[in-house]
Chains A and B, each alone.
Chain A
Amino acid sequence: MAGRARRITAAYLLLSPALVLMLGVLAYPVGWEVWISVTNFSSRGPGDRAFVGLLNYRAMLHDSEFWRGLVTTVAYLGVTTLAKLALGVPMALLLARPSRWRALVFLAVFLPWAFPGGITVIAWYWMLNPPLVTSYAVALGTLKHAVDVAAGGGAYAFLSVVAFNVWRGSSFTAVFLLAGLNAIPTELFEYARLESSSVWQRFREVTLPLLRPYMALAVFLSFTSAFADLANVWMLTGGRIVFPVLGTQAYWLGIRGGQFAEAAARSLSMVPVLVVALALLFRWFDRREDTVDAAAPTASGRSLGHRAAA
């Protein structure tokens, strides 16, 4: 018995560095953030914080800026993720194909992601909002005006941020999916080649379903990185809130405005959305592994269904 107790103690002892790290850098800050979101903690108020219940959340829900920010954030996540997948999948397929130019293509695809973000953001900022007056600047100014008139104020800023995110992130998606492709046994693709000579058919029936788990993960990474994407949005819009995502709003409120409690509430507001997204994605991911009971009718029993009909 003593031996067993000692083994358990030893196990916890060995786990403790990891546990301390997890608690220290994850659980504690999150817990603290949740706590201050229900207080009146602020740089302007008196030194001590008082518990105010859900007051900050209620105020947030009544703030039209918050709703604008939520809508833009969700749109930003959705549009960039779709675009990154749409570009990332073909890039990954190109990279997976053995060719003489593969190293060069790989470099070209990988470069946007490997470059320091701060520098490329400035390059994009100057490219889209030229700081010097030239005919190019005039043309872009006209374009910006036209876009904002056609799609509403802030549309140009939105599109610029989306373009930058997609440019930078699709290469990451591609490389991520390439790793996925490489992990799939080549015989699965070869068998498809034996049975079909249509590239599109093979892509739809074999490549896409096999790639699905990796795509689910790529989507989730894209979601979280786009949500946490404060720096790019902040820098690309010149530090102004012309492009209200929740991240910049929280930054503005908390760091610039000293309203720590409101900022905490705002940054926590996306957590339920992300949790739901994660749950959905994992269900999608799991479809590949889903267990089909021999007796239970399922979606994949579809092909048997028509036998009963016939």
Chain B
Amino acid sequence: MNLQVRDKEFVVLVGPSGCGKTTTLRMVAGLEEITSGEITIGDRVVNDLPPKDRDIAMVFQNYALYPHMTVYDNMAFGLKMRKFPKPEIQKRVQDAAEILGIHELLRRKPRQLSGGQRQRVAVGRAIVRHPKVFLFDEPLSNLDAKLRVQMRVELKRLHDRLETTAIYVTHDQVEAMTLGDRVVVMKDGWIQQVGEPLELYGRPANKFVAGFIGSPAMNFADVTIGEANGAMWAENPGMRIKIPAAQADQLRRYKGQAVAFGIRPEDLHVATGADAQDNVIDAVVDVVEPLGSEILLDVKVGPTVMVARVEPTVRVKVHEPMRLGLDPERFHFFDNKTEAAI
């Protein structure tokens, strides 16, 4: 793995469990030994530096607050261990408490705090250190959904304010997309793609990234590439769609071969007369999930199950046939063998 994090950048490592994102973070922290390679922070190679001297501050998933210490002592811990003068410790803790709005809590013990408050203390403990790099290991995953959204916004605001480089590990792609200046998608210890959130979303480098980023996930269908009437077509027993000219050249060499076709749920819509017949497919409604702001339709397209995200005004019935229009600008194709985007 080779990754360069720029100064003041907020980089998010995201991937399914076991993909090595946490291990990567722990190697940067120095909690995990590295067998080969080099880790540098700033201009310094830190491979052999003890964690304490790496100028990093880490926030753990379950906060790792000391139950026997007050909030103040928890936040002051790192500075005390480094023998900072007391007035300096006080000032830094006060400042951090101010930023995070936990001033009232300084004399409490962690068990008297709510999950969100503990989270803040854990972040505060990192802030007081004024480190070169913040390391976050799934810091929001122990919070309930509502609080998670709120803390996510606060973390983003905090990063804008502190302008400190941060590496953030999560398995939640929404967190990754919303927080990261750049997002690193990992799988099985390998980096799949590095890029800005919308770049990953719009131009996934491979089928894994395409399926991982976005919720509901991208729809995939096995299709065969064919050529007829001077155009390229993607076909399977349930659908036949025309490949736009921009992608046709790339796909010509797959003629007669099977590839994976991908399209995101929001790029499917209820077909109207305005849709070109070449980009319309027949589907049967399987499940209707009204979410209020939108409706998710699980539909069967021949042998394939797809999800379409449609307007909340759409009225369809389960088991009834319908026609879906596809946005030809948003087609994705992936090589079946390498899974790379075509």
Q: Which residues of A contact B (CB under 8 A)?
A: 185, 187-188, 190-191, 193-198, 201, 205-206, 209-210, 212, 287-292, 294, 298, 300-301, 303-304, 306-307, 310
Contact pick for A195, options B67, B82, B86, CB 8 Å: B82
Bound CA–CA A53/B122 (angstroms): 62
B87 touches A190 (CB 8 A): no
B78 touches A195 (CB 8 A): yes
B107 touches A188 (CB 8 A): no
Contact pick for B62, options A187, A198, A301, CB 8 Å: A187
Task: Give the 10 A-B residue pairs with the shortest CB-CB distance, closest first.
Answer: A187-B64, A196-B81, A195-B78, A191-B64, A197-B50, A209-B68, A187-B60, A194-B51, A197-B52, A195-B81
Q: Which residues of B contact A (CB under 8 A)?
A: 29-31, 50-53, 56-58, 60-62, 64, 66-70, 72-73, 76-78, 81-82, 86-87, 90, 104, 106-109, 111-112
Closest to A298 in B: B107
Inside 8 A of A310's CB, which chain B residues have their CB?
Answer: 86-87, 90
Inside 8 A of A197's CB, which chain B residues have their CB?
Answer: 50-53
A292 touches B108 (CB 8 A): yes
B52 touches A291 (CB 8 A): no
16 further A-B contacts with Cβ under 8 Å, apart from A188-B64, A289-B109, are A187-B64, A191-B58, A191-B64, A193-B52, A194-B31, A194-B51, A195-B77, A195-B81, A210-B66, A210-B67, A294-B104, A300-B73, A306-B90, A307-B90, A310-B87, A310-B90
Q: What is the distance, in angstroms, from B70's C-beta to the closest C-beta of chain A? A: 5
Bound CA–CA A210/B90 (angstroms): 24
Offer 19 A-B interface pairs, CB within 8 angstroms, sorted by A.
Answer: A187-B62, A193-B52, A198-B81, A201-B81, A209-B68, A210-B66, A210-B68, A288-B67, A289-B67, A290-B109, A292-B108, A292-B109, A294-B104, A298-B107, A300-B107, A300-B109, A301-B107, A306-B86, A310-B87
Q: Taking chain A's interface residues, is the majority helix, strand, or loop, or is none over half, making it mixed?
A: helix
Inside 8 A of A307's CB, which chain B residues have their CB?
Answer: 90
Contact pick for B66, options A188, A196, A291, CB 8 Å: A188
Closest to B57 in A: A194
Bound CA–CA A177/B106 (angstroms): 31
Q: What is the distance, in angstroms, from A129's C-beta to the closest C-beta of chain B? A: 46
Q: Given A191-B58, A195-B82: A291 and B64 within 8 A (CB)? A: no
B106 touches A194 (CB 8 A): no
Contact pick for B31, options A190, A205, A291, CB 8 Å: A190
Contact pick for A303, options B29, B53, B70, CB 8 Å: B70
B52 touches A294 (CB 8 A): no
Q: What is the distance, in angstroms, from B140's C-beta to the closest C-beta of chain A? A: 16
Inside 8 A of B104's CB, which chain A residues have their CB?
Answer: 294
Inside 8 A of B51's CB, which chain A residues have their CB?
Answer: 193-194, 197
Bound CA–CA A290/B67 (angstroms): 10
Bound CA–CA A131/B73 (angstroms): 60
Contact pick for A190, options B53, B57, B64, B82, CB 8 Å: B64
Inside 8 A of B52's CB, which chain A residues have their CB?
Answer: 193-197
B112 touches A301 (CB 8 A): no
B53 touches A185 (CB 8 A): no
